[in-house]
Amino acid sequence: MDARHSQESTQEKPPDPARHESRSVMRRRRRFWDRSVSIVISAGGLGVLFSVLLISFYLVYEVLPLLHRADLNELGSFTEAVPVPALLFEIDDVAGVALRIEASGRVSFHDLDDGRLLAEEALQSPSGAELTQIAEEAAGNGLFAAGFADGSVLVADWNPVALRLEFPLGSAALPLLDGAAVRSLALRAAPGSVGIAAAGIDGSVVLLERNVGIGPAGLAPAARTGSAGMRREWRFPGLFPEQLLLLQDARWMLLLDQSQELLLVDTRSAPGAEIVDSRTLTGVRLTDLRLLAGGMSLLAADAAGNIGQWLVVRDGDSAHLAQVRRFELFDRPVAVVAAQRNQRNFAALSDAGELVLVNASSAAEHLRRSGVSASAAALAPSGASLALQDGQGAITIWQIDNEFADFSLVALWAPTWHEGYPEPKLIWQSSSADDAFEPKYSLVPLTFGTLKASLYAMLFAAPLALCAAVFTGHFLAAGLRRRIKPLIELMETLPTVVIGFVAGLWLAPLVDANLAAIALAMLLLPGGIVVASLAMAGLPERFGVAPAHGWQGLALAPVLLLSGWLAWLFAPLLEAWLLGGSLRDWLEFRWGLDYTSRNALIVGMAMGFAVVPVIYSIADDAVFTVPRRLSLGALALGTSRWQAFARLVLPVAAPGMISALMIGFGRALGETMIVLMATGNTPLIDWSVFTGMRTLAANLAIEIPESEPGSTHYRILFLAALLLLLLTFVLNSAAELVRQRMRKKYRMI
């Protein structure tokens, strides 16, 4: 019976259809969810890649117009009834009006579209004297001065809407030369004053300065009742000025004499005007002298086809002339130079009919066109139109497509000599309250500030994060590691705006008030840890007492607190004894180091605090995931834990640790809010830990809301964003390449 039972039990049971169906359904459901999750994860990854590519393409889309070259298109032409040369030729493309003032005093307003005469009047002195000279004001407000044969001068501007001349200082002529004809004339309007200089045929020079109000559109209406002003007269023996130019606030006057020598005159030198510098601008004949917008740069065109740009460089209370650029434009003489009133752009024409558009700030040539001849030229204030008149009276209106004239790739990275500076420098300054401001778009200070902030943050974060990762991943007890690691990683959840707020309002004043204590703590903390560690290492042999394995770090906590307390206690005494005062004053007077409250030290501490969790988490995983059999086998062979770590664990974990450092550096590069709130945001090139900086990311946060969409400034900010994206991409890619290469190298261990 037992044999029969055994035989029956060994027979296979018939399959259960319901159970088989249930397993089949579970397998299909599992495959469905596996595929669904795989599709969702893949879609998410592709979405991230697509978003990054889309952002990159958009940045490139915004930057590409900066590389667009200028274009010139003819809008129309008309011919004057009588081809008479003009003393003053100006256009306003907003109102669509052209102004011509002839030597006879005839003032005519023309429509830019068809050339028809809109209005005309006469410009003459109250005594009926003949018009001899007209001088434009270079600050961009449209003012000009008219000099007459009786030595009188009228200051006027033209209203393109009302089609008439206006006289802000009154219609009564100003007597400057006491009956002598005006040979050369200069006008300079500054906030609060206006200066008029005139030279007579006898060589005498008169400067009249009046205190007036300057409004957005020129002289304010209140200037009509301005004071009589201050009149000064000089005579330079042997000099007969052919052209006068006034710079800045009329203190500096340029005088071109009959021998083609340019003299720089200090009009406020005591007891009289003093010639402080003289230069022979060129060995060939000068053909034109013009001031650029703002009235600080001189353009000197010559018969060799070159144009030199000259600046007045201050030397304390004195000054000298310096040629900052030389534009070699033509093989033929320069015939005409027209400067734009609102920007540092100018148009130059040769006597062979060649036209060039140049931006003086960036030293960039934007357009060259042949077959264009003119005896007079006028650039619209907006720079979008150019009017040319030839010798036969034909006036041609050209449309200029040169929206980003003040951009140059070279000026972004090379030192540039700007107005008001003694030498070429790398400067970022995109705006100013001064109407004569020259934008400065060098990305070097911003890139330098980004690298400086990131390096100081890494100097603070890298040692702490790596040492913590080595300690928790290799030496710390497993139970304690499970509690400490999440706490450190939790630091990453703190908003950076909160960290920046605390750093700017609490940490910066704290460091400022306790600078010596912090410096002393940097010496005592490492020293105290080393001494305490050596003492603990000797305790087991003498007393038989030692902290449990993996818990030695907690025994150092009192040492850290004691070292900090000692630094805070003895720092004031050491300052008074060794330095004779405060550490801050000693650094400033002994070593010439400037100290600002929000500096690189504050940024390094605050941003390092934000970067520590990123580096620590990756490095700790790299150390902890090294197989335990390697270190345990080494310990079994008699090595110490440090030897096992240095010879076995570190080479295997090195790819992950290096990757953690590079990813942390990339994280620091893109940080915005901490740098924005914890530094002075001044674009400096200075490695000092006691000075601030401005980073690319902080600059974007500051200036993007204020920039005009589509402007040069706006698109250069997008270029800065693209540069920041490329920097982080290169660093993260390099981190991954290093990790993969080192992982391949040590995979057999």
Q: Is the peptide bond before 651 cis (omega within 30 degrees of 0)?
A: no
pLDDT of residue 180: 84
Residue 201 exposed, middle or buried by CB count within 10 Å (0-12, 13-18, 19+): middle
Residue 524 has pLDDT above 80, yes or no: yes
Q: Please give the CATH number for the structural domain made up of 123-157+164-280.
A: 2.130.10.10
Single-letter residue type at 246? L
Query: What is the arithmetic mean of pLDDT over 295-310?
Result: 89
The pLDDT-based confidence of 459 (bands split at 50, 70, 90) is very high
The pLDDT-based confidence of 226 (bands split at 50, 70, 90) is very low
Q: Provide φ and ψ at 139, rounded to 5°.
A: -80, -5
Query: What is the arithmetic mean of pLDDT over 676-694?
Result: 88
* CATH 2.130.10.10 domain span(s) along the chain: 123-157+164-280
CB 606 within 8 A of CB 678: yes
Residue 223 has pLDDT above 50, yes or no: no
Single-letter residue type at 502? V
The sheet with strand 252-256 has its strands ordered as 243-247, 252-256, 261-266, 274-280
Other Cβ atoms closer than 10 A to 49: 10
Reported as a single tens digit per residue, the pLDDT across 582-603 is 777 787 777 777 888 888 899 9
Residue 515 has pLDDT above 90, yes or no: no
Count, residues in the chain: 749
Reported as a single tens digit per residue, the pLDDT across 419-437 is 888 889 999 988 876 666 7
Other Cβ atoms closer than 10 A to 401: 13
DSSP characters over 520-579 = HHHHHHHHHHHHHHHHHHHHHHHHS--PPTT-HHHHTHHHHHHHHHHHHHHHHHHIIIII
Considering only CA atoms, which of 561, 569, 573 is closest in space to residue 528?
561
Reported as a single tens digit per residue, the pLDDT across 12-33 is 556 666 666 677 778 888 888 8
Residue 540 has pLDDT above 60, yes or no: no
The pLDDT-based confidence of 87 (bands split at 50, 70, 90) is confident
**Which has the higher per-residue pLDDT, 689 or 213?**
689
What are the residues whose beta carbons fall under 8 Å from the beta carbon of 623, sequence distance 6 or more? Answer: 469, 470, 473, 474, 649, 653, 656, 657
Q: Which of 67-81, 653-667, 715-729 has the highest mean pLDDT?
A: 715-729
Query: What is the arithmetic mean of pLDDT over 660-667?
Result: 89
For helices 650-669 and 600-624, give the axis angle rounded to 10 degrees.
Answer: 150
Reported as a single tens digit per residue, the pLDDT across 609-624 is 999 999 999 999 888 8
**What CATH architecture applies to the domain 450-495+597-745?**
Orthogonal Bundle (1.10)
Helices (H) and strands (E) in the chain, counts: 18, 33
* CATH 1.10.3720.10 domain span(s) along the chain: 450-495+597-745
CB 267 within 8 A of CB 284: no
Please, where are the H alpha helices in 266-347?
Answer: none
Residue 717 has pLDDT above 90, yes or no: yes
Query: What is the arithmetic mean of pLDDT over 704-732?
Result: 90
DSSP at 208: E
pLDDT of residue 216: 45
| CA count, 13 A, side-chain hemisphere, 222 | 7
The pLDDT-based confidence of 552 (bands split at 50, 70, 90) is low
What are the residues whose beta carbons fall under 8 Å from the beta carbon of 355, sequence distance 6 or more? Answer: 72, 347, 348, 349, 367, 368, 369, 370, 372
**Which has the higher per-residue pLDDT, 20 or 708?**
708
The pLDDT mean for the chain works out to 83
pLDDT of residue 139: 65
Share of the chain above pLDDT 90, in %: 19
Rg for the chain (alpha carbons), in Å?
Answer: 38
pLDDT of residue 222: 42
Residue 386 has pLDDT above 50, yes or no: yes
pLDDT of residue 348: 92
Tokens of 300: 């000197």
- Predicted TM-score (pTM) of this structure: 0.84
Considering only CA atoms, which of 207, 193, 195, 190 is closest in space to residue 241?
207
Single-letter residue type at 736? E
The pLDDT-based confidence of 286 (bands split at 50, 70, 90) is confident
